[in-house]
Amino acid sequence: MNPESVTNATISGSSHAAADRVRIFDTTLRDGEQAPGFSMDRRAKLRMAHMLEALGVDIIEAGFPQASPDDFAAVAEIATSLKTPTICALARCQAGDIDSAGHALERARHSRIHLFLSTSPLHREHKLNMSKAQVIDTAVAAIERARKLCHEVEFSAEDAMRTEPDFLAEVFSAAVAAGATTLNAPDTVGYMTPAEIAERFTWLQQHVQGADQVIFSSHCHDDLGMAVANSLAAVSAGARQVECTINGIGERAGNASLEEIVMALKVRAPHFGVDTRIDTRKLYPASRLLTQLTGQAMPRNKAIVGDNAFAHESGIHQHGMLKHRGTYEIMRPQDVGIAETKLVMGKHSGRAALRQRLETLGHTPNDAALDAIFVRFKTLADKKREVHDEDLEAIALGLDPDAVGPWRLVQLNTSTHLGGSASASVKLRHDDGREAGEAAIGDGPVDAVLRAIERATGSDLQLTDFQVRAVSEGGDAQGQAQLTARHAAREWRGHGISTDIVEATAQAALAIVNRIERQAPAALPVAVANL
């Protein structure tokens, strides 16, 4: 296949599409992954790349091949494996970088080399030690070299927004003449405001020679918290490619968040007048996969995909939501891949939300019973951040949601083996005097402990979430383990605290087992019939 012929076909057929569609250029695997704490190995990168393909991303920047042998191998494997998106590799305007990128992309069905070169006075003087003429000559030579090795070339003027507009237009004009098909004007340090971004993109399209032959791209960082707003301003001003990352990860404060940009364009479609190819129902799964692969938790209040994005605790809000979803939600949770809106039961919740939640759990108390339940609920809510379903069920059944037992941990032993499995043994005592001891082997000490407790208590738990955090400081710091497990088509939560995190995990697992046993049908009091 002749890369140049594909490039020309792509350009000639893109004019209409460029007018009404924004291309999503995902750089999670490059700009996002190079941020401290977010590094991924080759296997993790490939998993994420397949998720991005399913999501409908147009261009995946798979990595920087010249950075390391592993990065080269990851780009090559992604280029070989994926079918739909354009696979992109980053390269400096240096022969070695360009050749490495081209070699890594050899088997890609659609390939792009993304060249970057600083253009601002600050970078020219202190980073490159180049004159304006040298910058242009270097960019042109690099683009001409890259064109021979891939289907299309993107040129980024690093620190474009702090570059003299006239010189930026001159560089971009030379890049178009050399064969670049996409021009990226990044706000490299997150310095601009939306009004300034819109003005600059409008100006560039008026002054870059051959502007009608290329796609203008926006790449915004979040140093001042305006990356998404700036990206949307660029779109409003004619940019038809946005460079972004899942969960907004990236250098320093991060990049523009893919899910926020996509949903803004979808929810405010009449305002922007453009769309994307993204299957928005896969946004939440993509976000969750990234947190699993990097081990980096996401803030609860993260827009679109955070735990609180479709959660309501305020009684006023819950009452409105029960009447009409549109009162406090501008999009459906299902549109981003979340099952349903969550009415969080806490100290701000009212009677209407409590009654609705109890009915969902199968309880239909009369007004007098609801009054009594509401008093107990409020007392418990004052002590806890969130009252879960198992707490509400315990209150409705006349049980104590904070009760401990009937199972208690008497003895715990664990051992781990480097490169092998872990083992654990537990001894438990029941309030009725029974004792149970079991041992198990697992993938790690936590897994082994959970298996041993399941055997000892005869429980069947499917772990769905496991979180560990420090609740104090120093060498004797206490750790808190929070578990969520599925049993009998319901989710149950438990937590434990100890200086030994494995013991904390055992306590959390026992808390779940005990709640299940206390709320088993055989344990229900006669008074339930009156509810």
Residue 401: per-residue pLDDT: 65
Residue 5: per-residue pLDDT: 41
Within this chain, do residues 383 and 413 fall inside the same structural domain, yes or no? Answer: no
- Of 286, 319, 350, the last residue of a domain is 286
Residue 57: per-residue pLDDT: 98
Within this chain, do residues 152 and 267 fall inside the same structural domain, yes or no? Answer: yes
Structural domain boundaries, residue 363: 311-396
Among 368, 305, 318, 390, smallest CA distance to 347 is for 318
3 within a domain of the structure (yes/no): no
454 within a domain of the structure (yes/no): yes
15 within a domain of the structure (yes/no): no
33 and 40 Cβ atoms separated by less than 8 Å: yes
pTM metric for this prediction: 0.74
The CATH number of whichever domain residue 260 belongs to comes to: 3.20.20.70
DSSP string, 59-116: EEEEE-GGG-HHHHHHHHHHHHH--SSEEEEEEESSHHHHHHHHHHTTT-SSEEEEEE
Within this chain, do residues 365 and 421 fall inside the same structural domain, yes or no? Answer: no
Q: At CA 279, angle to CA 278 and CA 284, rounded to 5? A: 105
Residue 482: per-residue pLDDT: 82
Q: What amino acid occupies position 136?
A: I
Within this chain, do residues 254 and 392 fall inside the same structural domain, yes or no? Answer: no
The CATH number of whichever domain residue 499 belongs to comes to: 3.30.160.270
Domain total for the chain?
3
pLDDT mean by block of 10 residues, the chain; 531 residues: 42 47 97 88 94 98 95 97 98 97 98 97 94 97 98 97 97 98 97 98 98 97 98 98 97 96 97 96 94 87 87 69 76 86 74 80 82 84 74 72 79 84 90 90 87 90 81 61 84 81 86 83 38 30
Residues with Cβ within 8 Å of 298's Cβ and at least 6 positions away in sequence, in order, are: 247, 287, 291, 305, 306, 307
Residue 11: per-residue pLDDT: 37
Residue 339: per-residue pLDDT: 75
Residue 79: per-residue pLDDT: 98
Within this chain, do residues 76 and 216 fall inside the same structural domain, yes or no? Answer: yes
Within this chain, do residues 384 and 420 fall inside the same structural domain, yes or no? Answer: no
